[in-house]
Amino acid sequence: TVELNPALLPLDWLLGSWESDEPGEGCFTSIKPFRYIETLNFSHVGQPVINFTFNAFHAETKKPLHRECGFIRMQPGALRVAFIIAQNSGLVEIEEGELTAQRLNLQSQALARVSFAREPHVQKISRVIQLRPDGRLEQTVSMATDNQPMMQHLHIIYRRSS
């Protein structure tokens, strides 16, 4: 096993694998509310970078749905964190924000998508990822699209799976 780069110590609580404890809840004004399950993995290879994958599945059929993968970097000497993300929907994004204790508060700084991405297009994303006092991990994602103002899309709680 490779030693964790000291630059990542403030994020060591994220490392490892997580799976939804109970199905996550999806919503948005324009869609039917839904439930989903999701597994997360955060790993490193000794660089000052965390590698991650988020894989979501239909809560009943277990059919693969949304997927994201990317990298997490921290500004040297600061608690500013950047997520560099690619999504299977054809979206790529940079999210940045501050780490306070074991809570990340991120906002999209840049979004781009494939020319034939489905509409409506996302215009802004914000997410909070935090370690709860009970040791579970919680993620809340809000977004604004062409048609709708900023509003919650996802809420989910994970337990450690390794």
In the complex with ligand HEM, which residue's Cβ is closer, 18 or 36?
Answer: 36
65 binds ligand HEM (CB under 6 A): yes
104 binds ligand HEM (CB under 6 A): no
122 binds ligand HEM (CB under 6 A): yes
Q: Which of 85, 137, 75, 134 is nearest to 108 (CA)?
A: 85
30 binds ligand HEM (CB under 6 A): yes
Residue 21, CA atoms < 13 Å, CB-side half-sphere: 13
- Residue 61's identity, in one-letter code, is T
154 binds ligand HEM (CB under 6 A): yes
Q: Which region among 8-16, 29-37, 96-104, 129-137 touches ligand HEM (by CB under 6 A)?
A: 29-37
36 binds ligand HEM (CB under 6 A): yes
34 binds ligand HEM (CB under 6 A): yes
C-alpha radius of gyration, the chain, whole number: 16
Q: Among residue numbers 69 through 98, which ones bind ligand HEM (CB under 6 A)?
A: 91
| Contact partners, residue 161, CB within 8 Å, separation at least 6 | 16, 17, 18, 19, 39
